[in-house]
Protein backbone atom coordinates (compact mmCIF):
# COMPACT_ATOMS: atom_id res chain seq x y z
CA UNK A 1 0.00 0.00 0.00
CA UNK A 2 2.79 2.43 0.89
CA UNK A 3 4.56 1.73 -2.38
CA UNK A 4 1.42 2.43 -4.39
CA UNK A 5 0.64 5.55 -2.39
CA UNK A 6 4.09 7.14 -2.38
CA UNK A 7 5.78 5.76 -5.51
CA UNK A 8 6.56 8.30 -8.21
CA UNK A 9 7.72 7.39 -11.68
CA UNK A 10 11.22 8.79 -11.97
CA UNK A 11 12.77 6.80 -14.80
CA UNK A 12 12.92 8.70 -18.05
CA UNK A 13 11.42 11.98 -19.11
CA UNK A 14 7.85 12.09 -20.35
CA UNK A 15 6.26 14.78 -22.46
CA UNK A 16 3.92 16.95 -20.43
CA UNK A 17 0.98 18.95 -21.79
CA UNK A 18 3.02 22.18 -22.00
CA UNK A 19 5.88 20.36 -23.75
CA UNK A 20 3.48 19.41 -26.53
CA UNK A 21 1.42 22.60 -26.63
CA UNK A 22 2.38 25.74 -24.66
CA UNK A 23 -1.29 26.72 -24.30
CA UNK A 24 -1.69 23.91 -21.72
CA UNK A 25 -0.43 24.11 -18.14
CA UNK A 26 1.56 21.42 -16.38
CA UNK A 27 -0.53 20.57 -13.34
CA UNK A 28 1.35 18.24 -11.02
CA UNK A 29 -1.48 15.76 -10.55
CA UNK A 30 -1.81 15.52 -14.33
CA UNK A 31 1.91 15.04 -14.96
CA UNK A 32 2.02 12.42 -12.19
CA UNK A 33 -0.99 10.68 -13.77
CA UNK A 34 0.69 10.71 -17.20
CA UNK A 35 3.82 9.06 -15.80
CA UNK A 36 1.76 6.50 -13.84
CA UNK A 37 -0.39 5.70 -16.89
CA UNK A 38 2.67 5.18 -19.09
CA UNK A 39 4.15 2.87 -16.46
CA UNK A 40 0.90 0.88 -16.29
CA UNK A 41 0.77 0.61 -20.08
CA UNK A 42 4.34 -0.71 -20.15
CA UNK A 43 3.70 -3.24 -17.38
CA UNK A 44 0.11 -4.30 -18.02
CA UNK A 45 -0.75 -3.04 -21.55
CA UNK A 46 -3.72 -1.12 -20.18
CA UNK A 47 -4.71 1.63 -17.79
CA UNK A 48 -7.85 3.20 -16.36
CA UNK A 49 -7.74 6.94 -15.76
CA UNK A 50 -10.49 7.80 -13.29
CA UNK A 51 -11.09 11.04 -11.43
CA UNK A 52 -13.86 13.51 -10.72
CA UNK A 53 -15.34 15.72 -13.44
CA UNK A 54 -13.25 18.62 -14.68
CA UNK A 55 -9.74 17.54 -13.71
CA UNK A 56 -8.51 16.88 -17.24
CA UNK A 57 -8.73 13.13 -17.78
CA UNK A 58 -8.95 13.72 -21.53
CA UNK A 59 -5.87 15.94 -21.47
CA UNK A 60 -4.04 13.24 -19.52
CA UNK A 61 -5.14 10.60 -22.04
CA UNK A 62 -4.13 12.78 -25.01
CA UNK A 63 -0.71 13.40 -23.50
CA UNK A 64 -0.28 9.69 -22.79
CA UNK A 65 -1.15 9.03 -26.44
CA UNK A 66 1.45 11.55 -27.59
CA UNK A 67 4.07 9.87 -25.38
CA UNK A 68 3.18 6.45 -26.82
CA UNK A 69 3.85 7.75 -30.35
CA UNK A 70 1.58 5.28 -32.11
CA UNK A 71 -1.67 5.43 -34.08
CA UNK A 72 -4.65 6.32 -31.88
CA UNK A 73 -8.34 5.46 -31.96
CA UNK A 74 -10.64 7.31 -29.59
CA UNK A 75 -14.10 5.91 -28.88
CA UNK A 76 -16.26 8.58 -27.29
CA UNK A 77 -19.85 9.81 -26.98
CA UNK A 78 -21.07 11.83 -29.97
CA UNK A 79 -20.87 15.15 -28.11
CA UNK A 80 -17.11 14.65 -27.51
CA UNK A 81 -16.07 13.86 -31.09
CA UNK A 82 -15.18 17.46 -31.95
CA UNK A 83 -13.32 17.90 -28.64
CA UNK A 84 -11.16 14.84 -29.38
CA UNK A 85 -10.46 16.07 -32.91
CA UNK A 86 -9.20 19.31 -31.33
CA UNK A 87 -7.04 17.35 -28.86
CA UNK A 88 -5.68 15.45 -31.85
CA UNK A 89 -4.52 18.73 -33.38
CA UNK A 90 -3.35 20.22 -30.06
CA UNK A 91 -1.29 17.15 -29.15
CA UNK A 92 -0.29 16.13 -32.71
CA UNK A 93 -1.66 12.60 -32.26
CA UNK A 94 -0.57 10.07 -34.89
CA UNK A 95 -3.15 8.77 -37.33
CA UNK A 96 -5.98 9.80 -35.02
CA UNK A 97 -9.33 8.18 -35.66
CA UNK A 98 -12.21 9.49 -33.52
CA UNK A 99 -15.23 7.21 -33.45
CA UNK A 100 -18.61 8.06 -31.99
CA UNK A 101 -19.73 5.33 -29.60
CA UNK A 102 -23.09 5.35 -31.38
CA UNK A 103 -21.39 4.37 -34.66
CA UNK A 104 -19.02 1.83 -33.16
CA UNK A 105 -20.49 -1.26 -34.86
CA UNK A 106 -20.39 0.37 -38.30
CA UNK A 107 -16.84 1.59 -37.71
CA UNK A 108 -15.68 -1.85 -36.58
CA UNK A 109 -17.18 -3.50 -39.66
CA UNK A 110 -15.59 -0.95 -42.01
CA UNK A 111 -12.23 -0.99 -40.24
CA UNK A 112 -11.92 -4.78 -40.12
CA UNK A 113 -12.74 -4.99 -43.83
CA UNK A 114 -9.94 -2.73 -45.11
CA UNK A 115 -7.41 -2.02 -42.37
CA UNK A 116 -3.98 -3.45 -41.89
CA UNK A 117 -4.26 -4.63 -38.30
CA UNK A 118 -0.70 -5.90 -38.01
CA UNK A 119 0.60 -2.84 -36.14
CA UNK A 120 -0.16 -1.71 -32.64
CA UNK A 121 -2.78 0.98 -32.04
CA UNK A 122 -3.62 2.80 -28.82
CA UNK A 123 -7.34 2.72 -28.07
CA UNK A 124 -8.81 5.34 -25.75
CA UNK A 125 -12.37 4.81 -24.53
CA UNK A 126 -13.66 8.10 -23.18
CA UNK A 127 -16.65 7.83 -20.85
CA UNK A 128 -16.02 4.06 -20.60
CA UNK A 129 -18.63 3.70 -17.86
CA UNK A 130 -21.27 3.94 -20.61
CA UNK A 131 -20.21 0.43 -21.70
CA UNK A 132 -20.62 -1.20 -18.30
CA UNK A 133 -23.85 -3.00 -19.25
CA UNK A 134 -23.02 -3.78 -22.89
Chain center to CA of 26? 17
Q: In the chain, where does DSSP find H-type helix? A: 2-6, 17-20, 28-44, 57-68, 81-90, 104-114
Separation of alpha carbons 131 and 134, rounded Å = 5
Please answer whether residues 17 and 32 qualify as being in contact, where contact means their C-beta atoms are separated by less than 8 angstroms.
Answer: no
CA distances from 126 to 1, 10, 46, 99, 115 (A): 28, 27, 14, 10, 23
pLDDT digits (tens, 9 = 90+) for 53-97: 888 999 999 999 999 999 999 999 999 999 999 999 999 998 999
Residue 115: its pLDDT value, please? 63
Amino acid sequence: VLHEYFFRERAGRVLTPSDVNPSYADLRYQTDAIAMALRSLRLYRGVIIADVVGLGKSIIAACVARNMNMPVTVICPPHLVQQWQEYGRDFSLMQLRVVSAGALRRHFDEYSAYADTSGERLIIVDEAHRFRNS
